[in-house]
Amino acid sequence: MILIDVDGTLVDTVPDLAFCINEMMAQLDMPRRGEAQVRLWVGNGTERLIKRALTGRMNGEPDEDLYQRALPIFLDFYAQNISKRSRLYDGVREGLAGLRAADMRLGAVTNKPECFTLPLLKQMRLLDYFEIVVSGDSLPRKKPDPLPLLHAAEVMSIAPAHALMLGDSETDVIAARAAGFQIVCVSYGYNHGENICDANPDAVIDSIAELLARAA
């Protein structure tokens, strides 16, 4: 079994996220945030992304009233812009098809809320590759907690020792290690500007097609 992260691993969603963050900030009469900055902030769920945009800091906590005003603005914009500017990374569709053809069981595990995850996967024509999709609000805890990975393994009746997580960030590495999974990371994703090699995954690959070659 291979569990795969979505944002930064399968799909480059930053162009849509940045557009929605900028529109949210404009409606709040606050400075827009550039796409390059949003790219550094993605990876810990919608709520944290909004808080980072409002404060300009990775762990900033905005005024609660401001956050409550910002949240529905962003959610409304993103519901209308889930995949208008997003794109698949090179080799994703071929890699997923090849893994399925090689009898690998696939699941998706993301910190993105389900109301955005399922439409994104459907609109990008990826949903049918996965037996299970675990989103950021599917369970009481999300990555880096191991619960989403362990839940998927239990549902699919796979022992963690026979499972692999494919992701793009230290969050994925921490979750996989805690769950007893192997962990492979892509070199191109979102990791807050840090080199993913510094997180010490089992391997770093440049495309999912390379994972297929390793599996073979």
Structure tokens, 207: 């495309």
Please give the helix or strand (H or E) that residue 54 lies within, else none. Answer: helix 46-55
Q: Which of 5, 7, 12, 16 is catalytic?
A: 5
Is residue 63 among the annotated active site residues? no
Buried b (16+ CB within 10 A) or exposed e, 18-56: bbbbbbbbeeeeeeebeeeebbebbbbbbebbbbbbbee
Q: What torsion do the CA atoms of 202, 208, 213, 216 make, to the nearest 10 degrees? A: 80
Instruction: Please give the structure tokens belonging to residue 175.
Output: 């979750």
Active site residues: 5
